[in-house]
Structure 1
Amino acid sequence: MLSRKNKRRLLKVFSLFSVVRGYNILVIVLAQYLASIFILSSGRTLREVVFDLNLFMLVIASAATIAGGYIINNFYDSEKDLINRPRKTMLDRLVSQNTKLSFYFVLNFLAVIAASYVSFRAVVFFAIYIFGIWLYSHKLKKRPFIGNLTAAVLAITPFFAIFLYYKNLDTVIFVHASFLFLVIAMRELTKDLENLKGDLAQGYRTIPIVFGEKTSKWMLTALAGLTIIPVYFLINHFEVGYMDFYFYASVIALLFFLGALWKSQAKLHYLLLHNILKFIIVAGVFCIVLIKPNEWLRFIT
Structure 2
Amino acid sequence: MLNRRNRLILLKTISLISIVRGYNILVIVLAQYLAAIYILSPNLPLREVILDSNLFVIVLSSALVIAGGYIINSFYDSEKDLINKPQKSMLDRLVRQRTKIYAYFVLNFIGVLLASYVSFKAALFFASYVFGIWLYSHRLKKIAFLGNFVSATLAIAPFFAVFVYYRNFELVIFVHALFLFLLILSREMVKDMENIAGDLAQNYRTLPVRYGNRFTKWCISALILLALIPAFLLIRYFDVGYMYLYFIACSLLLLLFLFLLWRSSTKEHYVWLHNIIKFIIVSGVFGILLIDVDLVLNRIL
Structure 2 length-normalised TM: 0.98
- Structure-1 separation of matches of 2:300 and 2:92: 45
- Structure-1 separation of matches of 2:59 and 2:175: 22
List structure 1 segments (4+ residues) > 4 angstroms apart after TM superposition.
none
State the 1:42 CA deviation: 4.1
Read off the aligned partner of 1:91 and give its amino acid letter.
L
Structure 2 residue 86 is the aligned partner of structure 1 residue 92: no
Instruction: Give the paired residue count.
Output: 301
Partner of 2:227: 227
Partner of 2:289: 289
Deviations 1:93-114 (A, max 9, x none): 0010111111111100110121
Deviations 1:197-230 (A, max 9, x none): 1000100000111111101011111111101110
- Structure-2 separation of matches of 1:205 and 1:112: 32
Matches within 5 A, 1:64-83: 64-83=64-83
**Unpaired segments of 5 or more residues in structure 1?**
none
**Unpaired segments of 5 or more residues in structure 2?**
none
Structure 2 residue 280 is the aligned partner of structure 1 residue 280: yes
Identity %: 61
Partner of 2:208: 208
- Structure-2 separation of matches of 1:119 and 1:297: 34
- Structure-2 separation of matches of 1:265 and 1:236: 36
Give the 3 Å change call, closer, same or farther, for CA 300–203 of structure 1 in structure 2: closer
The secondary structure found in structure 2 opposite 1:245 is helix
Is the deviation greater in 9-18 or in 38-47? 38-47
Read off the aligned partner of 1:79 and give its amino acid letter.
E
State the 1:300 CA deviation: 7.9
Deviations 1:235-290 (A, max 9, x none): 11111111111101111111111111111111010000000000000000011000
1:47 and 1:299 in contact (8 A); partners too: no
Deviations 1:117-136 (A, max 9, x none): 10000000000000000000
Structure 1 length-normalised TM: 0.98
1:47 and 1:298 in contact (8 A); partners too: no
1:75 and 1:97 in contact (8 A); partners too: yes
The secondary structure found in structure 2 opposite 1:227 is helix
State the 1:298 CA deviation: 5.2
Partner of 2:167: 167
- Structure-2 separation of matches of 1:24 and 1:297: 27
1:46 and 1:298 in contact (8 A); partners too: no
State the 1:43 CA deviation: 2.5
The CA RMSD over aligned residues, in Å, is 1.1
